[in-house]
Structure formats: C-alpha cells, structure tokens
Amino acid sequence: MRNLNEVLKISFSAFFADLGYQAAVVMFPLIFVFYLGAPMWLYGVAEAINYGLGSLMAFLGGLAGDRFGRRRMAVLGNAIIISVSLLGFARYWWQALLIFMVGWWFRNFRTPPRRAMMTEVTDPGERNEAFGILHALDIAGAALSITYTAILLFVKFPVEYLLLISAAPLVVSTLLIALVNAGHHANAGSASFMELRGLGRALWLIVVSTFFFGFSQYSFGFPVITTAEFTHEDYLAVVTYGVFLAASAVFGYVFGKSRVNEYTGLSYLGYLLGVFASLGFALLSPMGVTGIYPSAFLLGVAVAATETFEPTIVSKLAPEERMGMGMGLLSFGRSIGIFLANTIMGLLYQLHYSYAYYFAAASSFTAFLIVRLLLMRVVVGGGQLR
C-alpha cells in the first residue's frame, strides 16, 4: 500500500473516535428509556431524529468536503462529537436527545469527507483493504469502549463520569485526522442537479439498495433494550453491543483482505446475512443471552460487509472530483432508511418486540433483491458497473 501511514492515521482517528463516543451510543437508550422513563415509541422517534436528520448532515458533509476541503470538514465534525460526553448529566429526555443529537449529527457530517480522504491516499486496487482496515480499527475502538463501559457499570461507577471519560480519546481522534496529508484543498464548486443525474445508474442503484438496508440497520439501541428487558442487567445489555462490534471489527478486516467480489459480498454477506440476524432477535430473544448474542454476532458480520464493500464500490463509480458527494449519497441513502426504520420499529416494538425485527428482516431482504436482480442487469464486461 503506497500510503500506509496516511491510511493508518485515518483509521486510528476512527479508532479513538469510537473509543470515545460509542460509550454514549450504548448508554443513550438505557438513559433515555430506563433512567429518564421515556416510552419506546418516543425512543423510536428520538433515534429517527438522530439518524434520519443526521443523514442530511452526512450529505452536506460530503458536499462541504469537496468544496471547502475534506480535511477541514472532517476535523470540524470530529471536534464537535465531544458534546456526547455530557450525556450523563441530562435530567430530562429532551436534554438527553439534544446532547446526543448534536454529537451524532456531526459524527455523520465528518464521515463522507474522511472516506473521501481515504480514496485520495489509495489506489483503486488498494481500497478494499484500506476500507477494511478503517472499519476494523473503527469497530475495535468501539469494542474497547463497550468493554470499559460494561466493566464500569458492573462496579456501579457513576454514569455521569463514565461518559465524561469519553472526551479524552475524542480529542486524540481529532488531532490524528488533522495530521493526515490529504484533503487539504477544495476540489470542486457547488454541485449541480445535472452532476447528480450524471453520477450513473449503478451508483444510484447502490444508494437505493443501501436505503432499504437502512431499514434493517436500526439503532442497535433496540437489541440493547431487548437484552435489558430479558436479562434485567444493564451490563449484559452493553455486552450485546460489544459482541456486535467485535464481530464487525474482525470481519471488516477479513473482508478487506479477501478477494470476494464486491457485489457478491455486499448482497450475500451484507444484506442477506442481515435478514437472519434480525430473525434471530425476533425468534431467539426469549432465550436470553444465548439467543441474543449469536444474533448480534451475525448482524456485526453483516455490517462489516456493507461497511467494506459499499464504499469500495462507490469509490470506483463516483468521479474523483465528486468523491465526497458520492460518499455523502451513500450515507444519505442508508440514513434515510434508518430514519424511517427507527420510527416504524419504535411503534411496532410498542406492540410487541418481535414485530419490529420481522420488519427489519423483510427490509434487508428487499435490499438483497435489489442488488441481485437490478445491479446484475447492468453488469458489463469484466464485472464492472457503469
């Protein structure tokens, strides 16, 4: 890899970011529902706001990175994530929502410019491995975050100070992304409607498919809440997220090193495996952790595949000067699906937990069909899509 040092800077920036803010991600549903007493339907709405409107921030972050400089926008967004460290001091549900929302929106804002920076420092043939390394270190940081969160909850460490600890790795993350030798200059002006239309059928089909997969990429707060309901232990609920993240980290690296075709990997290892994971939550949760943890593991593998293969595909389809916009559209498609999913799942969960997961499984299967039945129709010589 010609710029391994730059790839590692970007990837370790992701590692330290997740080492920090993932503690807030896993604690938000517990604080919002169990500590502050909000109903499940309101939790669904809250996560729809976090993830759905965050989708617009991702798209804007991609555009802003292309226009004003990718590194500058990545640093700005990464620095504001630190607001989630104050989540433990919320005393009302609306305070918790506001604190988490700001940090999560700007986490989304910085993701497309960071991915575009990765394409600047790699050749097309290196990107599977580069995005695999990025995802593996990203999720490894998250897994460590969940580990210290579970341990501190087990020993009854105050939640306020547990989350305050997360500020330190977020500072390190921001410093690392500022040191990356990429994304210094603006690459393009404002995007036009014609440029959006001209991105190509294949890229738009990927965006549509990831929109439907977004329905199955519900906030992992739902499985966290399900675990808490069936086990009555907060730390076991946190460990569920840790199982998901550990599987995602390991398989993100494995998929990055593999020679699996991107479209095959995305459809079978990503979207189809997501179907079985959601069905597992629906059918096996009454068994407790013996049913929930394997389902979390499967969902982690599915997300690893999508996080590795989706950006790799987009990096080969989007024009270089609009790479930030291409990555922004990828996040936008996923997050719009997540916006609707969290709202619908919150309402369905209020009726019965299994209904929410059945809905997610059906949506993931729709995404699988789109990739297999639509994308394959526009394959041309050499397996390339245009």
Tell whether the model's pLDDT for residue 121 goes beyond 50: yes
For residues 329-337, average pLDDT: 66
Whether residue 71 is contained in a domain is answered as yes
The pLDDT of residue 308 is 79
Which tokens go with 60?
């804007």
Stretch 215-226: mean pLDDT, rounded?
A: 77
Task: Specify the pLDDT at position 208.
Answer: 63
**Residue 385's pLDDT band (cuts 50, 70, 90):** very low
Domain membership flag for residue 385: no
Decide if 186 is inside a domain: no
Q: What is the mean pLDDT of residues 131-153?
A: 87
Going by pLDDT thresholds of 50, 70 and 90, the confidence category of residue 332 is low
Q: What is the pLDDT of residue 380?
A: 43
Which whole number is the average pLDDT over 14-18?
A: 94
Q: Which of 34-43, 234-243, 283-292, 328-337 has the lowest mean pLDDT?
A: 328-337
Contact at 8 Å (CB) between 310 and 321? no
- Classify residue 193: in a domain, yes or no: no
d(CA 18, CA 249): 12
Structural domain including 26 reads 4-178+200-379
Kindly calculate the radius of gyration of the chain based on its CA atoms and give it in whole angstroms: 19
Q: 10 Å Cβ neighbour count for 372?
A: 18
The pLDDT value recorded for residue 221 is 83
45 located within any domain: yes
DSSP per position, 25-72: HHHHHIIIIIIS---HHHHHHHHHIIIIIHHHHHHHHHHHHHHH-HHH
Total count of domains within the chain: 1
Q: Would 194 be classed as within a structural domain?
A: no
For the chain, give the percent of residues with pLDDT over 70. Answer: 80
In a domain, 188, yes or no: no
More confident residue, 128 or 324: 128
pLDDT of res. 90: 95
CATH number at residue 260: 1.20.1250.20
Supply φ then ψ for residue 101, to 5 degrees: -60, -45
Q: Residue written as tokens 């226009």?
A: 67
Domain contains 190: no
Q: Which pLDDT score, from 0 to 100, does residue 56 have?
A: 77
Cβ proximity of 386 and 202 under 8 Å? yes
Query: What are the pLDDT digits (tens) for 244-299?
Result: 988 887 887 788 777 787 777 877 888 899 899 999 999 999 999 999 999 999 99
174-188, 195-209, 216-230, range with the lowest pLDDT: 195-209
